[in-house]
């Protein structure tokens, strides 16, 4: 039933591969990178309203972004904005949201949703989530959405589905293997094998199941968050408890902490028009392009003899470019990025270099 459905939106990342448009002061989830009039966070929230009440949607973010979340999500109760005192990766983020929900409703079905993904086939997405909710409500399982691959991509993690299916639900397949971002040759192999799917980073489970998984596979983190179930969560002492808990938390992803260890993980392969919008290249693939396959975001962009490029202008200045071929050009008030599309994975290292330079204030 809908009152038992919850969503935890993860919105604390900094989106460094989307620099310089995305900065630590305003990461990409708070930006309208699609030119739709809505930010990625707002689009994620609106999708969740299809199967959750607004009161059952929680946003976990860094405490410095509490204000912008409130500004962008006017319908969310203020108590549902969970502020992390520090960045401890996704395991702590998931634990915070799920243990808080567990303290209130132990029968809850929970979707974990990144705030910065794009879903083009929304009806197929809703069907996949509702099917996963039904399966989780009747079985002690953890479900992840696996995206049918369309190309070899070294920027995504992969899931291998086994032939074993969940009893009564042939669409849900036991997970045989998780693989982090592979080398190109391996990505080509995976793309040609129908048993492999991209790891979407979207997870569905029952509150009881994920708490049991933390207890079994991430015991230290479980002991930290379990202390708050009876007295601290959903009370005036929650923030103080979380400050103390996060200071002791391991910095680890939910994939490493739980998903790659648990024996009850199933994947639902699906085609939902998904992209994680993790890079400028993924945005180039998503938005409308001209007849030379150039994607332009912003105004005042003038291209000559250019093709297969991604150009973003976040200023009032005119941008004129000649002879581009497979480049990323991003112009903002404080910085300009020029990079080959094929080298975009290096942008994160460029940002790391800037972080220890005299230009760190521009990140």
CA-nearest of 269, 312, 308, 274 to 291 is 308
Cβ atoms of residues 276 and 156 within 8 Å: yes
In the chain the domains, ranked by start, together with CATH numbers, are: 2-275 (3.90.550.10), 280-362 (no CATH)
Task: Say if strands 109-114 and 196-206 run parallel, antiparallel, or are unpaired.
Answer: antiparallel
What is the structure's pLDDT at 340?
95
Q: What residue ranges of the chain have pLDDT lower than 70?
A: 1
Q: Provide DSSP, 232-254.
A: TTTSTTHHHHHHHHHHH-----H
Q: Which residues contact 357 (CB under 8 A, 6 or more apart)?
A: none
What is the structure's pLDDT at 1?
58
């Amino acid at each position: 039933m809908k009152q038992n459905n919850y969503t935890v939106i993860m919105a604390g990342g900094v989106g460094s591969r989307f620099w310089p448009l995305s900065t630590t002061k305003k990461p990409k989830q708070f930006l309208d990178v699609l030119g739709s009039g809505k930010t990625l966070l707002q689009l994620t929230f609106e999708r969740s309203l299809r199967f959750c009440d607004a009161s059952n949607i929680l946003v976990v973010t860094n405490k410095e972004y509490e204000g912008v979340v409130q500004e962008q999500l006017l319908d969310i109760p203020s108590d549902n904005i969970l502020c992390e005192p520090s960045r401890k990766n996704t395991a702590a983020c998931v634990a915070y949201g799920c243990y808080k929900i567990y303290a209130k409703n132990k029968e809850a079905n929970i979707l974990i949703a990144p705030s910065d993904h794009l879903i083009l086939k929304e009806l197929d997405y809703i069907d996949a989530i509702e099917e996963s909710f039904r399966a989780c409500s009747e079985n002690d399982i953890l479900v992840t959405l696996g995206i049918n691959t369309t190309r070899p991509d070294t920027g995504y993690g992969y899931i291998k589905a086994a032939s074993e299916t969940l009893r009564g639900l042939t669409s849900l397949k036991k997970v045989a293997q998780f693989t982090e971002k592979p080398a190109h040759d391996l990505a080509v192999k995976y793309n040609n094998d129908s048993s492999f799917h991209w790891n979407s980073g979207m997870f569905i489970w029952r509150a009881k199941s994920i708490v049991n998984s933390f207890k079994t596979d991430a015991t230290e983190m479980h002991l930290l968050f379990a202390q708050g179930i009876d007295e601290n969560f959903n009370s005036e002492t929650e923030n103080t408890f979380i400050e103390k808990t996060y200071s002791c938390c391991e910095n680890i992803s939910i994939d490493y902490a739980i998903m790659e260890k648990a024996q009850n993980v199933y994947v639902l392969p699906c085609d939902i028009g998904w992209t994680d919008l993790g890079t400028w290249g993924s945005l180039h693939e998503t938005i409308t392009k001209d007849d030379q396959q150039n994607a332009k975001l912003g105004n005042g962009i003038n291209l000559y003899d250019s093709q297969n490029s991604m150009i973003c202008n976040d200023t009032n200045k005119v941008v004129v470019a000649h002879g581009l071929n497979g480049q990323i050009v991003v112009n903002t008030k404080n910085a300009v990025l020029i990079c080959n599309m094929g080298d975009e994975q290096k942008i994160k290292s460029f940002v790391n270099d800037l972080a220890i330079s005299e230009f760190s204030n521009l990140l």
